């Protein structure tokens, strides 16, 4: 393999290895290499037809994703049997022909190294979690909870925007407790998983088992609880689960993308449980923290880049730690690819090309996010109705179009099917006034803004 291809494949494999069980990794990725990489097409050489079929049918998305994260210009990844990659005699895997792979669904690789009992992924640790002023409260609260399970802050509620480390911190808490006391029963789940499990237990007449299972934990972690919103049956069941755990002194940790007061369609009694302990938020990392995070990720991945380059990445990417990591990889592989130290302008250019332009929020993104946030169909925002559940989101959309996009009142009125522009003025004034006295609304609008900024950054139209 030529050295650049080798480097690329090793990096891609390192990513893949993190997310695939050791057995699967050894089985399917052993003796593979990149045999060709030109004009956006990467060809992976594989030792035999079985491996080719599995990679194509089960792992392809993942391979493509990890290669693209390193070399964004790659369009196609294909697999080709290369007889010279001899299969070592020790590899005793013989697959019967009928075990050919169903191709409907690509595997969810992250699942593989996760402990099925706890749902914890060992890659998330407190040691690898960088603390700055943006997250130090959340980190301190977690540390305290880990040391005094059920006694310090119970429940602990952590909220913050996408990619700011909530899952990392929650998972790290679970891993730490497990490390300190392997006998503790720990379980991590998401609100969606909890809900799905409940639904299938109802279908299989196994609700009793479901209840039993959730009531035995010493530490229950529920991530992204904003998705409980609107799920009445799930909320009811969760309420009882929570009470049982809480009353027997068991620890519960929650995360959400917004504070409890801003989660809509949630029963008051459940909301008051969320609010009963300690609520802390994670905000956006400041520049120093972004630099520290990049340096630590670089060290972890044995990447060496000049400080100046790191600083440029940290100053261009401000809101999302997941994106910081992505940018670091791109810059690294590009400088290796060209075999040079990139000049500051080149770093900026690559980031500008690969990291989406900021703040190109569009009216339709605002409408989409607001509709989702208040759980109403997008088209109902345009309905001429006085129903409060529609009027409020509609006024918020108008407010945001004016305030954040600087659109004129006539423009906004026209967007809403040619209504009178004074209606848009009225909506703007109403929300502006309301915002001054209503904290809940303020939080809601903050969450909405974060969401469409994320959409915009992800380039969703
Ligand atoms: P969230 O759940 O809030 O959307 P994640 O926990 O998934 O965010 O974090 C996104 C990525 O950023 C993960 O790869 C995570 O390991 C990393 N990350 C987030 N916060 C930190 C931190 N403080 N220190 C180190 N890595 C972090
Ligand atoms: Mg998360």
Q: How far is CA 407 from CA 404, 410, 414, in A?
A: 8, 8, 11
Residue in this structure with the two tokens 């050295």, named with its chain if needed: 3
CA 433 to chain centre: 34
* Nearest atom of ligand 1 to the alpha carbon of 132: 23
Predicted pLDDT at 359? 54
Question: Residues with Cβ < 8 Å from 49, sequence gap 6 or more?
Answer: 81
* Nearest atom of ligand 1 to the alpha carbon of 169: 6
Query: How far away, in angstroms, is 415 Cα from ligand 1 center?
Result: 38
For residues 95 and 28, what is the distance between their CA atoms, to the nearest angstrom? 12
* Nearest atom of ligand 1 to the alpha carbon of 161: 3
For the CA of 223, the nearest ligand? 2
Domain positions in the chain: 3-110, 136-282, 287-354, 363-458
Query: How far away, in angstroms, is 125 Cα from ligand 2 center?
Result: 14
Predicted pLDDT at 392? 95
* Nearest atom of ligand 1 to the alpha carbon of 223: 2
Predicted pLDDT at 295? 95
Q: Which fold has domain 3-110?
A: GMP Synthetase; Chain A, domain 3 (3.30.300)
Predicted pLDDT at 375? 93
Query: How far away, in angstroms, is 239 Cα from ligand 1 center?
Result: 28
Which of 365, 374, 391 minimizes the C-alpha distance to 451?
365
CA 295 to chain centre: 21
* Nearest atom of ligand 1 to the alpha carbon of 131: 23
Query: How far away, in angstroms, is 73 Cα from ligand 1 center?
Result: 26
Domains 287-354 and 363-458 in one fold: no
CA dihedral 166, 171, 176, 179 (to 10 degrees): -170
Predicted pLDDT at 460? 62
The domain defined by 363-458 carries CATH number 1.10.1750.10:
yes
Phi and psi at 391, nearest 5°, equal -60, -45
Predicted pLDDT at 337? 75
Query: How far away, in angstroms, is 400 Cα from ligand 1 center?
Result: 29
For the CA of 192, the nearest ligand? 2
The correct CATH number of 136-282 out of 3.40.600.10, 3.40.190.10, 3.40.50.300, 3.30.70.380 is 3.40.50.300
* Nearest atom of ligand 1 to the alpha carbon of 135: 23
Residues with CB under 6 A from ligand 1: 128-130, 135, 162-168, 293, 321-322, 325
Residues facing 157 on adjacent strands? 254, 279
Q: Which of 15, 163, 292, 318 to mutate to test the pocket of ligand 1 (most atoms within 8 A of CB)?
A: 163
CATH architecture of 287-354: Orthogonal Bundle (1.10)
For residues 228 and 264, what is the distance between their CA atoms, to the nearest angstrom? 9
pLDDT tens-place string over residues 30-68: 889 999 999 899 999 988 877 888 888 888 888 998 898
Query: How far away, in angstroms, is 171 Cα from ligand 1 center?
Result: 10
* Cβ atoms 143, 212 nearer than 8 A: no
Predicted pLDDT at 111? 41
Tabulate helix, strand, coil % of the chain (nearest 5). 55, 10, 35
Query: How far away, in angstroms, is 412 Cα from ligand 1 center?
Result: 37
Query: How far away, in angstroms, is 178 Cα from ligand 1 center?
Result: 20
Please, what is the Cα angle at 308 between 303 and 310, to 5 degrees? 45
Q: Which of 123, 125, 134, 165 to mutate to test the pocket of ligand 1 (most atoms within 8 A of CB)?
A: 165
Q: Which residues of the chain have pLDDT under 70?
A: 21-23, 84-112, 356-360, 457-461
Residues around ion ligand 2, judged by CB within 5 A, are: 166-167
Which of 150, 407, 401, 141 minimizes the C-alpha distance to 281?
141
Task: Indicate the pairing of strand 278-282 with strand 251-256.
Answer: unpaired
Q: Strands of 97-185 (E only): list them.
A: 156-160
Predicted pLDDT at 98? 34
Which of 328, 336, 257, 344 minimizes the C-alpha distance to 292?
328
* Cβ atoms 290, 323 nearer than 8 A: no
Ligand 1, atom 18, lies closest to the CA of 165
Helix (H/G/I), strand (E/B), else coil: 126: coil
């Amino acid at each position: 393999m030529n050295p650049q291809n080798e480097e690329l494949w090793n990096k891609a494999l390192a990513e893949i290895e993190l997310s695939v069980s050791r057995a699967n990794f050894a089985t399917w990725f052993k003796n593979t290499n990149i045999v060709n990489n030109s004009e956006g097409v990467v060809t992976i050489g594989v030792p035999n037809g079985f491996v080719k079929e599995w990679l194509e049918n089960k792992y392809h998305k993942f391979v493509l994703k990890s290669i693209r994260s390193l070399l964004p210009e790659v369009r196609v990844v294909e697999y080709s049997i290369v007889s010279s990659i001899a299969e070592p005699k020790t590899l005793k895997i013989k697959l019967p022909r009928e075990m050919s792979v169903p191709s409907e669904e690509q595997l969810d690789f992250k699942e593989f190294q996760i402990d099925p009992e706890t749902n914890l992924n060992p890659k998330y640790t407190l040691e690898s979690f960088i603390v700055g002023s943006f997250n130090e409260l959340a980190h301190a609260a977690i540390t305290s909870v880990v040391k005094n399970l059920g006694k310090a802050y119970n429940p602990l509620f952590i909220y913050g925007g996408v990619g700011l480390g909530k899952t990392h911190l929650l998972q790290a808490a679970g891993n730490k407790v497990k490390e300190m006391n392997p006998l503790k029963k720990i379980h991590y789940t998401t609100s969606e998983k909890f809900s799905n499990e409940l639904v299938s237990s109802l279908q299989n007449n196994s609700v009793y088992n479901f209840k039993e299972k959730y009531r035995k934990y010493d530490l229950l972690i529920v991530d992204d609880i904003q998705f409980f919103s609107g799920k009445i049956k799930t909320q009811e069941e969760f309420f009882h689960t929570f009470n049982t755990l809480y009353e027997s002194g068991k620890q519960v940790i929650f995360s959400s993308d917004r504070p409890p007061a801003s989660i809509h369609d949630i029963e008051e009694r459940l909301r008051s449980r969320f609010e009963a302990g300690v609520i802390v938020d994670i905000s956006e990392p400041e520049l120093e923290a972004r630099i520290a995070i990049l340096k630590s990720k670089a060290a972890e991945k044995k990447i060496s880049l000049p400080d100046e380059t790191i600083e440029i990445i940290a100053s261009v990417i401000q809101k999302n730690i997941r994106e910081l990591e992505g940018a670091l990889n791109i810059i690294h592989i590009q400088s290796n690819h060209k075999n040079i130290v990139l000049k500051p302008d080149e770093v900026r250019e690559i980031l500008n090309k690969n990291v989406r332009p900021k703040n190109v929020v569009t009216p339709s993104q605002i409408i989409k996010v607001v509709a989702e946030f208040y759980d109403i169909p997008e088209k109902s925002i345009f309905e001429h109705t006085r129903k409060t559940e529609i009027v409020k989101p509609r006024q918020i959309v108008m407010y945001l179009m004016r305030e954040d996009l600087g659109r004129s009142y006539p423009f906004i009125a026209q967007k809403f099917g040619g209504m009178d522009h004074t209606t848009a003025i009225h909506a703007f004034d109403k929300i502006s006034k309301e915002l001054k006295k209503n904290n809940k609304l303020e939080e809601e609008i903050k969450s909405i803004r974060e969401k469409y900024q994320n959409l915009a950054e992800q380039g969703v139209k």
